[in-house]
Amino acid sequence: MAEIKTLAQLKRDITPGLTIEWLKLEELSYGNKSAGLQLLNISEGREKRQVNIVDTTGFYLKNDYFTASKKGSFCNWPKASELEYIDNIFTITETDHNGEIWQRRTYKII
């Protein structure tokens, strides 16, 4: 059975040196009221990056431009309500200021 985890557990699991694999990006938008939520774009990838720095606001992933003077790409911690974390796969659902979903990103902890 799949183990459902919390935001607190994700924060404990993300540590410097850990590898995270990007699985999927879904960009969403509301169309007209009768159409509801529409999928605009879906990208799948198998990009792997290492966690460089972890702090109270989020974590940094090393990228091609990583140097000693740059921390890497930043990923902020989601709200608990925007996180789905099952086994080693977590999905962050981002909403706009009106609470409408506009993006979902799925990652796997390796």
**Whole-structure pTM value:** 0.80
- The count of domains in the chain is 1
- What is the arithmetic mean of pLDDT over 16-25? 91
- What is the arithmetic mean of pLDDT over 27-40? 59
Give residue-wise pLDDT tens across range 54-107: 999 999 988 777 666 678 888 999 999 999 999 999 999 988 777 777 888 899
What pLDDT is attached to residue 20?
94
Instruction: Judge contact between 52 and 62, C-beta under 8 A.
Output: yes
- What is the arithmetic mean of pLDDT over 14-30? 86
Domain that holds residue 87: 4-109
Predicted confidence (pLDDT) at residue 14 exceeds the cutoff of 90: yes
Q: Output the CA–CA distances (angstroms, integers) from residue 16 to 21, 29, 59, 73, 82, in the order listed.
A: 14, 34, 9, 14, 23
